[in-house]
Amino acid sequence: MDWKNHMKKGFLLLLFLLITIIPFLKQEEPLFVKASEDITEAEMDEDAPLDEKLSAILANEHLEGTVTGVSIKRADTGELLYQQNGDIRLHPASNMKLLTAAAALETLGKDYQFATEILTDGKRRGKVLHGNLYLKGKGDPTLLQTDFVQFAKDLKKQGIRKIKGDLVGDDTWYDDVRLSQDLNWSDEPFYTGAQVSALTLSPNEDYDAGTVIVEATAKDTAKGKAEIRVTPETDYITIKNNTKMVDAGEPRDISIEREHGSNTVVVEGTMPVEGAASRSWVSVWEPTGYALDVFKKSLKAQGISFIGNSKDTFAATPADAQLLTSKQSMPLKDLLIPFMKLSNNGHGEVLTKEMGKVINDEGSWDEGLQVIGDVITDFGVDEDTILLRDGSGMSHKNMIPANDLAELLYNVQDEDWFAAYKESLPVAGEAERLVGGTLRYRMTSEPAKGNVTAKTGSLTGVSTLSGYVTTKDGKPLIFSIMVNNYVGSSATIRGVEDQLATTLAAHEFTEE
């Protein structure tokens, strides 16, 4: 064996690796930081015209290959100050919610409330209700388990202890199409793609309707499986616990996902002793049955039971049914806070169907989208240059130009509901979750902090930010930034958006 040749070859290979790999290692810096440091002389010059500052930022190398639409308007006059690809149709992602919210406020009104009703087609004799008990949903996405408990208490106060009839879930206020037409199958098991039903339930006050919270927690021994808890408690969900407890200090690696087409939730992976809990909001397959199950448990907890050959079923409530109790939701102006601040997709789809039901007597996506389209064209959006496919922005087929979105934001300022609309938008850098929303960790320094008020949007390859800002010299502006077809780090693209918004906040107009 020629060991000298082997050593020589080994040395040369090591030298080659050092020469080729080390330069790449040096380049491994956070892309968000790099994007923020790509500042040209025009950007650094505070006296430079606005268009030069914005164009310099948009020359960022990370935008190469994207289609980026930008539109800047004066909020007081509507004058277009700057645009880049402003008339190009782009995917808005969750900026679609700006359209949905405006249409809902215009058609339903800021004080609009959803109703949920408990009715019967029978009569009470003593402590027994002879007849069916109907739980009728009318779209309220904010129903909680506590509301079902209150319904049960109301029935108990009326002297009902037994029901000789069926428990019936009525979700006929909307059609039976549960998922919007372009929702990806990979989104369907998660809260971002929850099914839409007129009768549904939320697990907590984030109001992610049609979901349960599944939580895996550690035990105090590295034996057996992690503990699993479902909120609210329901037999509608089946947990398949494939987890394994491991020693403290080992990695936590927990996956929580519902199997498609069923309500079996598979929890698997490793949970270390003393490890932090792993929690996931999981969508429910057919949420009407989920709501009915939780309501029945609430009745049982209040001492109300079903007797005879009763069963749980789904049907429309008879027109002559007697109302026993009901609940009105929070008004729309309050619902807009979790909808817009937290970018709640389910709320966007519920509002779309509700507009279709109220205006055109059909709770469907087709009718709801027609209403949205009619309203936004009245607010200056060109109906010939948009495509609307859902109310949340989850669709990759929604299309609207940045100039049209900015025009909408300009025209809605004259409406009596505008204060509620603007208040619902995330506020940059504000740590309070229901104030800062999806912008609470972005633009955390002045002049953008507390000043930039805007809706975020994010899909694979899409990032958007549109809203309102006031310049350093007190000029109110409207902006719409829509980046499509990017690859790589989403943080990088958000960094560019933040640069643009911050530049607007810091700008002073001179004679330009």
The DSSP line for 7-63 is HHHHHHHHHHHHHHHHHHHHT---HHHHHHH---HHHH-TTS-HHHHHHHHHT-GGG
Q: Which single residue is written with the structure tokens 């907890």?
A: 301
- 454, 501 in Cβ contact below 8 A? yes
Q: Strand 67-74 to strand 128-130: parallel, antiparallel, or no bridges (unpaired)?
A: unpaired
Report the 3 state secondary structure along 188-245: CCEHHHCCCCCCCCCCCCCCCCCEEEEEEECCCCCCCCCEEEEECCCCCCEEEEEEEE
The question of whether 310 is a catalytic residue gets the answer no
Report the run of H or E that residue 367 belongs to, with start and end: helix 365-378
Check if CATH label 3.40.710.10 holds for domain 32-111+333-506.
yes
Residue 280 in contact with residue 258, Cβ under 8 Å? Answer: no
What's the CA angle centered on 332, arms 467 and 482, to 5 degrees? 25
Asked about 262 being catalytic, the answer comes back as no
In the chain, ranges of CATH 3.40.710.10 domains: 32-111+333-506
Tokens linked to 218 = 């550690």
Tokens 């010939």 sit on residue: 384
Round to whole Å and give the CA distance between 180 and 444.
35
**Which residue among the candidates 343, 395, 424, 458 is catalytic per the annotation?**
343
CATH number for 115-177+287-329 (one of 3.30.1330.40, 3.90.660.10, 3.50.80.20, 3.20.20.210): it is 3.50.80.20
Q: How far apart (Å, rounded) are the C-alpha atoms in residues 225 and 430? A: 40
255 included as an active-site residue? no
pLDDT, one tens digit for every residue, the chain (512 residues): 444 444 444 433 333 333 333 233 223 222 233 334 444 434 457 889 999 999 999 999 999 999 999 999 999 999 999 999 999 999 999 999 999 999 999 999 999 999 999 999 999 999 999 999 999 999 999 999 999 999 999 999 999 999 999 999 999 999 999 999 999 888 999 999 999 999 999 999 999 999 999 999 999 999 999 999 999 999 999 999 999 999 999 999 999 999 999 999 999 999 999 999 999 999 999 999 999 999 999 999 999 999 999 999 999 999 999 999 999 999 999 999 999 999 999 999 999 999 999 999 999 999 999 999 999 999 999 999 999 999 999 999 999 999 999 999 999 999 999 999 999 999 999 999 999 999 999 999 999 999 999 999 999 999 999 999 999 999 999 999 999 999 999 999 999 999 999 999 999 997 55
Q: The pTM is what?
A: 0.90
- The boundaries of every CATH 3.50.80.20 domain in the chain are 115-177+287-329
- The pLDDT assigned to 45 comes to 76
> What gap in Å lies between CA 433 and CA 428, rounded to an integer?
11
Considering the candidates 73, 97, 357, 449, report the single residue annotated as catalytic: 97
Active-site residue, selected from the candidate residues 53, 71, 73, 94:
94
